[in-house]
């Protein structure tokens, strides 16, 4: 079985809008009420996936969820046509596009039973995300139906779990046994800590991980208070490399000491606060990047265009590349529509180390399939949405029709 890292990107849904629903997500709050461009947003995501394929990476997809979520509205005793506007906005959110919050993944080399385990995130902290998991797990159970996978229900909602955005895996290579790092929050001042320690511990037990290759690390209060609502806004790991802001962790030295002991060849790349303040790192999503190893072996950082436009961030990148550091190449992608709602390149993907042939092929893509998806998006996705229009009957009909058209094109009608 050839194990490789597959990036599963969420396709931006046709209801993509800026309703400002995410407390602690500064970009989401800053752009609340702006006019969104669902078609452009989805096509930007397709272009990002094309760039990944060009690098030689394996690429998969997750599909938009049913929007409006009529089942959730029914549980609240209402319909999209009658709901309070705030409830309607929560029912129309396209936030499932941020696949880093879909699940936590422990690949086969790390687990006692030799299976790749996935636990769907409950996302219980925010109402607009708390109803995502049923549609997410339906896709996970299709995509990873084979005997080499185990898909778990969410952790009970008493404990908040926001998926892979708060989970890192470090190993000499993707297919080797790894140290898994679960990052949790305790306090963020005015903002909630979304990943609970008990949820992380439960996932580690469900995934049958070796306690000797397991670390629980607290995210710093300063990072959460500055708007780092998930760990992947201030840190990203890939194989032997941890790339992080100086203020990412509550006990940085304790974490580094453990990783140096447990991960052969471990390398730490730190961005000092004196060089890149937390505010700049979060605004540019320097760390919410995809740190990947293409087949040519050159560790590559896939950054949003905003990183190049932030002086302190781009200066740091240039110094690192010139200094022959662990990150050898930078690729820039335009995901401005996602960035404006608080999600960079890393938010849009879930990393799964697995044999691609073991995955349902309907969820794997090549250039031809991406072009077919783009055709559907160009034809069906709304061009613009304002949050005040979310209950307009014609827009609702257009959004529902667009999603069905994509499912039919991909042969995934069972998700309708």
CA angle 13, 7, 311 (to 5 degrees): 80
Least confident of 23-32, 355-364, 368-377, 404-413: 23-32
For residue 31, the model assigns a pLDDT of: 63
158: which DSSP letter? T
Helix (H) or strand (E) holding 189: none
346 has a pLDDT exceeding 90: yes
Q: DSSP states of 73-96 as a string?
A: HHHTT--TTTS-HHHHHHHH--GG
For residue 267, the model assigns a pLDDT of: 97
pLDDT in tens, 38-52: 999 999 999 999 999
For residue 19, the model assigns a pLDDT of: 82
Mean local confidence (pLDDT), 389-402: 97
For residue 52, the model assigns a pLDDT of: 97
23 has a pLDDT exceeding 60: no
For residue 25, the model assigns a pLDDT of: 58
Point out the residues that are catalytic: 162, 230, 347
What is the percentage of the chain residues whose pLDDT exceeds 90?
A: 88
Helix (H) or strand (E) holding 287: none
CB 256 within 8 A of CB 215: no
Distance, in Å, from the CA atom of 243 to the CA atom of 403, rounded to the nearest integer, reads 37
Distance, in Å, from the CA atom of 9 to the CA atom of 7, rounded to the nearest integer, reads 6
Mean local confidence (pLDDT), 243-257: 98
Distance, in Å, from the CA atom of 357 to the CA atom of 143, rounded to the nearest integer, reads 11
Distance, in Å, from the CA atom of 381 to the CA atom of 237, rounded to the nearest integer, reads 34
> Domains of the chain by range and CATH?
4-156+268-415 (3.75.10.20)
Beta strand pairing call for 167-170 and 149-152: unpaired
27 has a pLDDT exceeding 70: no
Q: Bin 24: left if φ > 0, else alpha if -120 < ψ < 50, else beta.
A: left
Enumerate residues 6+ apart whose C-beta is below 8 A from 9.
45, 48, 49, 52, 59, 60, 61, 62, 99, 348, 349
Distance, in Å, from the CA atom of 182 to the CA atom of 304, rounded to the nearest integer, reads 25
102 has a pLDDT exceeding 70: yes
Using alpha carbons, select from 241, 137, 238, 228 the residue that is nearest to residue 183: 228
pLDDT in tens, 69-87: 999 999 999 999 999 999 9
CB 299 within 8 A of CB 326: yes
Least confident of 95-99, 227-231, 309-313, 412-416: 227-231
What is the percentage of the chain residues whose pLDDT exceeds 70?
A: 96
Distance, in Å, from the CA atom of 89 to the CA atom of 338, rounded to the nearest integer, reads 17
What is the residue whose two structure tokens read 């185990």? Answer: 150
20 has a pLDDT exceeding 80: no
């Amino acid at each position: 079985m050839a194990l490789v890292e597959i990036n599963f990107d969420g396709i931006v849904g046709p209801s993509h809008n800026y309703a400002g629903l995410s407390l602690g997500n500064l970009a989401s709050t800053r752009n609340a009420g702006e006019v969104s461009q669902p078609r452009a947003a989805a096509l930007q995501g397709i272009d990002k996936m094309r760039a990944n394929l060009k690098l030689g990476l394996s690429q998969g997809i997750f599909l938009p969820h049913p929007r409006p979520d009529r089942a959730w509205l029914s549980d609240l005793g209402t319909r999209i046509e009658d709901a309070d506007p705030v409830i309607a906005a929560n029912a129309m959110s396209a936030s499932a596009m941020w696949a880093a919050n879909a699940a936590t993944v422990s690949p086969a080399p790390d687990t006692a039973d030799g299976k790749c385990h996935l636990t769907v995130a409950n996302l219980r902290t925010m109402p607009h995300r708390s109803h995502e998991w049923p549609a997410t797990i339906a896709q996970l159970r299709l995509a990873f139906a084979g005997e080499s996978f185990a898909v778990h229900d969410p952790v009970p909602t008493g404990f908040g779990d926001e998926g892979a955005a708060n989970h890192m895996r470090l190993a000499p290579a993707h297919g080797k046994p790894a140290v898994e790092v679960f990052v949790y929050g305790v306090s963020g001042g005015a903002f909630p800590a979304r990943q609970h320690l008990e949820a992380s511990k439960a996932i580690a037990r469900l995934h049958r991980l070796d306690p000797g290759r397991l670390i629980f690390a607290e995210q710093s209060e300063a990072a959460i208070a500055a708007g780092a609502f998930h760990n992947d806004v201030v840190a990203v790991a890939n194989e032997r490399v941890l790339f992080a802001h100086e203020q990412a962790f509550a006990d940085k030295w304790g974490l580094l000491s453990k990783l140096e002991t447990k991960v052969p060849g471990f390398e730490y790349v730190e961005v000092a606060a004196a060089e890149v303040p937390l505010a700049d790192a979060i605004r540019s999503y320097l760390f919410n990047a995809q740190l990947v190893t293409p087949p040519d072996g050159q560790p590559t950082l896939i950054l949003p265009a905003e990183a190049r436009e932030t002086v302190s961030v781009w200066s740091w990148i240039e110094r690192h590349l010139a200094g022959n550091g662990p990150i050898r190449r930078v690729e820039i992608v335009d995901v401005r529509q996602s960035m404006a709602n608080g999600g960079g390149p890393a938010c849009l993907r879930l990393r799964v180390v697995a044999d691609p042939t073991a995955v349902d092929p309907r969820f794997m893509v090549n250039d031809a399939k991406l072009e077919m998806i783009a055709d559907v998006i160009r034809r069906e996705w709304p061009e613009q949405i304002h949050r005040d229009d979310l209950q307009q009957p014609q827009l609702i009909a257009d959004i529902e029709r667009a999603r069905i058209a994509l499912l039919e094109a991909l042969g995934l009608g069972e998700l309708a």
